[in-house]
């Protein structure tokens, strides 16, 4: 599953938990292809197919093998863009690429069409496979827990997908530690496929995962693939006290996720962080990603570049080696 050629050495790879799947330490988040995540009001407003192809080309050229998407991203447009790109690249790339997709939100943007019931999971996997143009998705995730469906039903449905060969391994996104423990116990008791990795938000500005899910991951041997490693662009220096927000940025399209950062404490911490990055001769994005990559439990980080050149910070981050003390010093800047 690892691209091989005679150019620069690949970017680094690790096994994802106990899945048996090897993934690149940098993963390409495809939530901006054809939309901005799962928000129906933004379907069609993300990267065009042409722009998405350029981003995927740059990622593959760098050695990225893990492509992360969801059925609902862009109302199915993200999966379709990946499927078109894979068909254009041919069999060799299709066989090495590791696809991860998710189920929960509506592909049509219908607020009533959501959840993790058995019939819905069975329907949604077929749609994802068709859009991606594959017979099996190596990594399949719940996009978030469904409080209206018993975990036993959801895990049983996911077990059926694994047995049918439609999904290789299963994981959980946006899950709480207590619910993760509960799901793992059910899988063990009933002999069902278990969540073998977790994908939650984690960054220097959002460290809840370190307290909540990472202790469970460590104890159970689960992989961890954090999303939003740059906190929606806040750790790049994109947002300042003047309140001016770049057009097309997360703070103009989906600001509700990040309004908690709009305070003096955050801006002061970001200034100190900028100085720390300058002292190491790197940009802020590179240092923020390096900090996350240096965590011993992080398998792969999911980046969401809007242009091909944005990927370079992630590649550079792999060359920044931080000791445990340095990690703590950087984290202390944010309190």
List strands edge to edge, sheet with 98-103: 223-224, 195-199, 167-173, 137-142, 98-103, 66-68, 26-29, 301-303
Pairing relationship of beta strands 22-24 and 13-15 according to DSSP bridges: antiparallel
Distance of CA 295 to the CA centre of its chain: 16
* Segment 275-285, tens digit of pLDDT: 999 999 999 99
Q: Are 37 and 250 a contacting pair, CB within 8 Å?
A: no
Question: What is the DSSP code (8-state) at residue 10?
Answer: P
Q: Which long-range contacts (CB under 8 A, 24 or more apart) does 209-212 make?
A: 212/176, 212/177
Residue-range domains of the chain with CATH: 13-230+295-311 (3.20.20.100)
State the Cα–Cα distance between residues 197 and 15, nearest whole angstrom.
Answer: 11
Percent of the chain clearing pLDDT 70 (strictly above): 97
State the Cα–Cα distance between residues 201 and 143, nearest whole angstrom.
Answer: 12
* Segment 42-91, tens digit of pLDDT: 999 999 999 999 999 999 999 999 999 999 999 999 999 999 999 999 99
The packing angle between helices 77-89 and 118-132, to 10°, is: 40
277 phi and psi, to 5 degrees? -65, -45
End-to-end C-alpha distance for the chain, whole angstroms: 40
Q: What is the pTM of this model?
A: 0.93
Reported as a pLDDT band with limits 50, 70 and 90, residue 8 is low
> For position 30, what pLDDT does the model report?
98
> For position 95, what pLDDT does the model report?
94
Q: Are 33 and 46 a contacting pair, CB within 8 Å?
A: yes
Of residues 244 and 119, which shows the higher confidence score? Answer: 119
Question: What is the DSSP code (8-state) at residue 173?
Answer: E
The radius of gyration computed from the CA coordinates of the chain, to the nearest angstrom, equals 19
Determine the average pLDDT of the residues in 93-97.
Answer: 95
Query: Bridge partners of 98?
Result: 66
Q: Residues with catalytic annotation? A: 73
Reported as a pLDDT band with limits 50, 70 and 90, residue 182 is very high
Q: In Å, what is the CA distance from 295 to each residue of 197, 207, 322?
A: 15, 12, 9
State the Cα–Cα distance between residues 255 and 67, nearest whole angstrom.
Answer: 25
Q: Are 222 and 214 a contacting pair, CB within 8 Å?
A: no
Q: What is the average pLDDT score of the chain?
A: 94
Q: Is the pLDDT of residue 197 over 50?
A: yes
Burial class of residue 142 (count of CB atoms within 10 Å of its CB; 0-12, 13-18, 19+): buried
Question: What is the DSSP code (8-state) at residue 2?
Answer: -
> For position 23, what pLDDT does the model report?
98
Q: In Å, what is the CA distance from 228 to each residue of 126, 162, 205?
A: 28, 28, 10
> For position 4, what pLDDT does the model report?
47
């Amino acid at each position: 599953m690892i691209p091989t050629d005679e150019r620069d050495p690949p970017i680094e790879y690790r096994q994802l938990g106990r899945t048996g799947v090897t993934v690149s330490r940098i993963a390409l988040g495809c939530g901006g292809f054809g939309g901005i995540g799962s928000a129906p009001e933004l379907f069609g407003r993300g990267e065009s197919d042409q722009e998405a192809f350029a981003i995927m080309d740059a990622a593959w050229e760098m050695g990225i093998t893990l492509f992360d998407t969801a059925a609902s991203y862009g109302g199915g447009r993200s999966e379709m863009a990946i499927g078109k790109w894979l068909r254009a690249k041919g069999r060799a790339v299709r066989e090495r690429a590791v696809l991860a997709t998710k189920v929960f939100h509506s592909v049509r943007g219908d607020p009533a069409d959501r959840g993790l019931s058995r019939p819905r999971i069975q329907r949604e996997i077929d749609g994802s496979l068709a859009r991606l143009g594959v017979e099996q998705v190596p990594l399949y995730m719940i996009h978030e827990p469904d409080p209206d469906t018993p975990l036993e039903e959801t895990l049983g449905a996911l077990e059926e997908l694994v047995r049918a060969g439609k999904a290789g391994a299963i994981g959980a996104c946006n899950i709480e530690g207590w619910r993760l423990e509960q799901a793992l116990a059910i899988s063990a008791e009933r002999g069902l496929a278990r969540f073998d990795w977790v994908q939650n938000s984690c960054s220097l500005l959002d460290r809840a995962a370190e307290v909540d899910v990472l202790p469970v991951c460590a104890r159970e041997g689960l992989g961890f693939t954090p999303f939003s490693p740059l906190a929606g662009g806040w750790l790049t220096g994109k947002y300042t006290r003047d309140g001016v927000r770049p057009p097309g940025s997360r703070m103009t399209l989906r600001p509700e996720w990040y309004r908690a950062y709009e305070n003096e404490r955050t801006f002061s911490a970001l200034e100190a962080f900028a100085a720390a990055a300058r002292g190491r001769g790197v940009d802020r994005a590179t240092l923020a990603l390096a900090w996350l990559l240096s965590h011993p439990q992080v398998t792969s980080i999911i980046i969401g570049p809007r242009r091909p050149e944005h990927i370079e910070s992630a590649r550079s981050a792999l060359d920044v080696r931080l000791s445990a003390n340095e990690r703590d010093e950087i984290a202390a800047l944010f309190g």
